[in-house]
Amino acid sequence: MFMKKLLSFLVLILFVSISSIHAQRYQDDINTILKWDKMYAPPANPILFTGSSSIRKWDDLERTFSNYVVMNRGVGGAVTNDIVRYANQIIFPYNPRQIVLYVGENDLVEKGVNADTIFNRFKNLYATIRSKLPNIPIVYISIKPSPSRVEFLPVARQANNLIRTYIAKQSNIIFVDIFQLMLDKNGQPRKELFVGDMLHMNAQGYAIWKKAVNPHLLRR
């Protein structure tokens, strides 16, 4: 009995420690953003790009969309719940006029996650945004087909379809499908669109995103 209680206690400690490390890792990214905001005043009412590393690594975002006032507040490695958790720090303070959102792909690799999980997390994030920004236009970029995660493509496709169907019934939100655009004629991810890790995109990949997103951005 003692050993069983000890084992349970050690498992609990391990879980708490992992959770703390996970939270601290993202908090470091958030702290960097907050320091940057103190050094350079954010633009008023920007088009806010946020989500995971595919946003954060869009290094030339401001130049790519130079006809607009845009701001990059992506968080590397973030899953959907992380964007919910940090919405008060990386979304709401900027009073954005529009949000471009890419999140959900990192959720794919979490143990026990399926398409319904990702869909429900998206709905939670959407409700969080709408709780303070009820009418703001949102552009949701679909989960992309990364070669390094090819085994998760069926789940990604299912999640995309669930989210697309939901968005079609909402107001002031658009689903931008880049999934199909990043597949070859055999339905496989186009490796030439990615850097060496086959997860993050190169300039060719971002060019596809720019072409897909640009028509939906709002001018002042």
| Digit-coded pLDDT (tens) for 36-59 | 787 888 899 999 999 999 999 999
SS3 154: helix
pLDDT interval class at 24 (50, 70, 90) = low
Sequence-distant (≥ 6) Cβ neighbours of residue 158 within 8 angstroms: 114, 115
Percent of the chain at pLDDT > 90 equals 79
HSE-CB for 91 with a 13 A CA cutoff: 23
What's the CA gap between 11 and 18, in Å, rounded?
A: 11
SS3 102: strand
What's the CA gap between 76 and 206, in Å, rounded?
A: 16
What's the CA gap between 26 and 85, in Å, rounded?
A: 10
Indicate the fold that domain 45-216 takes in CATH: Rossmann fold (3.40.50)
pLDDT interval class at 200 (50, 70, 90) = very high
Is the confidence at residue 215, as pLDDT, over 80?
yes
What's the CA gap between 136 and 107, in Å, rounded?
A: 25
The radius of gyration of the chain's CA atoms, rounded to the nearest angstrom, is: 18
Provide the residue count of the chain: 220
What's the CA gap between 207 and 181, in Å, rounded?
A: 11
Helix (H) or strand (E) holding 45: none
HSE-CB for 15 with a 13 A CA cutoff: 6
